Amino acid sequence: MHVEIFDTPDATAARAAEFLAEEIARAAHQRARCAVALSGGATPEPMFDHLAKADLPWQIVDLFQVDERAAPDASPDRNYTTIREHLLAPVDVPVANLHPMPVGLPSLAEGAARYTAVLRSVCGDPPVLDVVHLGLGADGHTASLFPGDPAVDVEDADVVATGRKVGWERLTLTVPVLRRARTILWLVTGVEKAPALRRLFEGAGIPAARLGRDDAVVYADQAAATLLER
């Protein structure tokens, strides 16, 4: 994996935003369209703030979610709330290009089916996302693929519902969809992530390592990188 380590979380986030902007510009040039999937959690907030200031051709960007918690609409626990407040509020992305995960339907299974259809209509079947941004949990989860949850082992679906994790049931993209993306960017900050980041590099033992993409880009701060061999 291509790792770069930065002094502070904000410097890490700024570089990650720059990387996403470069990838969007490259896809715009090569394919005239760019499908991006964004994760949730607290770590990407400053990355979204930086990205919102970039001059980007948003009209050619399709914005997907990597995962979403089945929290009430507009709840601070919804990943889309963070994306809306930190990225979308100041920029003008056509509504048709926004693809929030539908966690408010009568069942999450219905939401997974509907999101699969949207994903395939934009990214093909099997779907190929241009850029996927991922986070890492201290327990080794990525997306909403948590240790011990059956969702981690799903190889024959694009989107699945998970069990209740950290308060909420969730929808998540599956390992094969994430693994198939043209570009993968991990943004990992904070010393509590250090053991998980080390295991990601060792390539085994945690759900995040299931992706097995040696060409992924990893931006981490010094704290998260403490246990990496250098």
From candidates 142, 162, 174, 183, binder to ligand 6PG by CB under 6 A = 142
Cα 3 from Cα 124, distance rounded (Å): 30
State which residue, 57 or 176, has the beta carbon closest to ligand 6PG.
176
Number of residues that bind ligand 6PG (CB under 6 A): 15
Give me the 63-92 binding string for ligand 6PG, x by CB under 6 A, dash otherwise.
Answer: ---xx-x---------x-------------
Residues 54 and 23 sit within 8 Å (Cβ to Cβ): no
Rounded least distance, CB 160 to ligand 6PG, Å: 14
State which residue, 69 or 180, has the beta carbon closest to ligand 6PG.
69
Ranges within 16-55 binding ligand 6PG (CB under 6 A): 39-43
Rounded least distance, CB 123 to ligand 6PG, Å: 19
Residues contributing to the site for ligand 6PG (CB under 6 A): 39-43, 66-67, 69, 79, 135, 137, 141-144
